[in-house]
A and B are shown apart, each in its own frame.
Chain A
Amino acid sequence: MNWIHKDLLGVRDLSREEILFLLDTADSFRDISRRDIKKVPTLRGKTIITLFYEPSTRTRVSFEIAAKRLSADTINISTSSSSVVKGETLSDMGRNLQSMRPDVIVIRHNMPGAPHLLSKILDCSIINAGDGAHEHPTQALLDLFTMREKKETLDGLKIAIVGDIAHSRVARSNIFALKKFNTEITCCAPPTMIPPGLEELGVSVTDRLGEAVVDKDVIMMLRIQKERGGTSYIPSIREYSSFYCLSEEHVGLARKDVIIMHPGPMNRGVEISDRVADGAFSVILDQVENGVAVRMAVLYLLSGGES
């Protein structure tokens, strides 16, 4: 397959074939992280900037490790220590960075569409590492990678996505990606956390966790997006957890070989119990490992092509 995209702004823009091609590429890159010498020269001489307007540990470190294992040079900018605090706009920041000739800019921003803006005004590749409540494509891709690894195929999977759907870019990107395969998706949350018209994306909706998990191959738990006002949609955290905290009893209602996923960071005791998070069905740490491989594949495909 010939990869044609300069940027990765969302999984919505990718075809089923492109997603599978990317996952296959990631599979080849994953072995590198398991060797003694965790480095290949593939992207030597490339410069990758991570520009994060929101806090992040997993995603930023994952991108940086991915880039370094491909021998690219990385520069990390977090806005608290940058000229953003002096009032510089995103476009000015982007143009200034471009003058230093990076090959890829990885951006996380609280405003949906921020990566798309940069993509329009800059020549280098842009990767969306999360834009507001819109998309988080590499998270969805690593989730699909993990599901395919554990279940062998994506087609036919029954998946429950539980939590603050309204404010979750992870939910949105996963729905966009999984709907390109023959999957059944059930979204579960209190009615206030279900965006109107969600069913139009081809998913079913329930507000009962006990119903949502029945017969599922995959249960994906999401945290409440406090930074996007998530807590004002529920009476209290304690009440939320009494209805929506995934317990071992819930897991018992799903398929016997169910996998439990969470994009992190987890709020133990709120959306997921300790015993489930650390239990035999949890693949949460596999997701993190696979994240590096998927991001290596994305960086390779975006910056490996004809220049």
Chain B
Amino acid sequence: MERVLLDEKSVERSIIRITHEILEKNQGSKNLSLIGIRTRGIFLAKRIREKISQIENREMPVGVLDITMYRDDIGMLKTPEVKKTDIPFTVNGMTIVLVDDVLHTGRTIRAAIDAIMDLGRPARIQLAVLVDRGLRELPIQPNYTGILYTAAPEEEVSVKLREIDGKDEVVLSTST
């Protein structure tokens, strides 16, 4: 069974609102950097960058983070594929906005924070997610949320983005 939580227009509106919130909270885009978590976080970060450049008339780089090397479940599952991390700027003294599609247990974000800390000393790290589906296992909260939907453990929340899935959509499905 599938249910659409966000359709194409709602995804777009969420990204616009998140962008404005980021700029409001940080009083502009000075010292601000975006880092997208593989895979869909990258595309969301790029879209936020686009919006920021329209509003602030300023180009900013987007970093790509692969958290595999920092996972806490290596050895417990099939060897996860390690892909490249590419952060083309220094993180020292910057405000980093981490971008991901779904926030669930918080373990990915824990790994991402550790990975960024190994690259330097950012002034602060903030978190933007398109969906917060609840059921946290670690004390991690987002600063910017597209939609909050507390899903049951057996429910799956999946984000589709046109860059790789052909369309923008957030879908809730129940495994039976």
Contact = CB atoms under 8 A, between A and B. Distances in A.
Interface in B132-157: none
Contacts of B80: 304
Contact of B78 (A2, A35, A41, A43): A2
A31 B75 contact: no
**Most chain-A CB neighbours within 10 Å: which of B66, B77, B82, B115?**
B82
Contacts, number: 56
Interface of B: 66, 68-71, 74-85, 114-115, 118-120
28 contacts: A2-B78, A3-B79, A25-B81, A28-B82, A28-B83, A29-B82, A31-B85, A35-B118, A35-B119, A36-B120, A37-B119, A40-B115, A40-B118, A41-B114, A42-B68, A42-B71, A43-B74, A297-B82, A303-B75, A304-B74, A304-B75, A304-B79, A304-B80, A305-B75, A305-B78, A306-B75, A306-B78, A307-B76
Nearest to A26: B82
Interface string A16-31: 0000000001011101
Contacts of B77: 306
A1 interface: yes
Nearest 5 pairs of A and B residues by beta carbon: A40-B69, A304-B79, A305-B79, A42-B69, A28-B82
A211 to B, nearest CB: 41
Contact of A1 (B71, B81, B119): B81
Consensus secondary structure, chain A interface = loop
A268 interface: no
Contacts of B71: 42
Interface of B is mostly: loop
Contact of A300 (B76, B79, B115, B119): B79
Contacts of A29: 69, 82
A32 B115 CA distance: 11
Size range of the interface on A?
A: 20 to 34
A303 B84 CA distance: 20
Which of A25, A32, A40: most chain B Cβ within 10 A? A40
Contacts of A203: none
A37 B74 contact: no
Contacts of A36: 120
A150 interface: no
B82 A300 contact: yes
B70 A42 contact: yes
Nearest to A301: B79
Given A27-B84, A28-B83, A41 B75 contact: no
Contacts of B85: 28, 31
Contacts of B82: 25, 28-29, 297, 300
Contacts of A70: 69
Query: Which of A39, A42, A303, A304 gathers most chain B CB within 10 Å?
Result: A304
Contacts of B70: 40-42
A19 to B, nearest CB: 15
B68 to A, nearest CB: 8
Contacts of A297: 82
B119 to A, nearest CB: 7
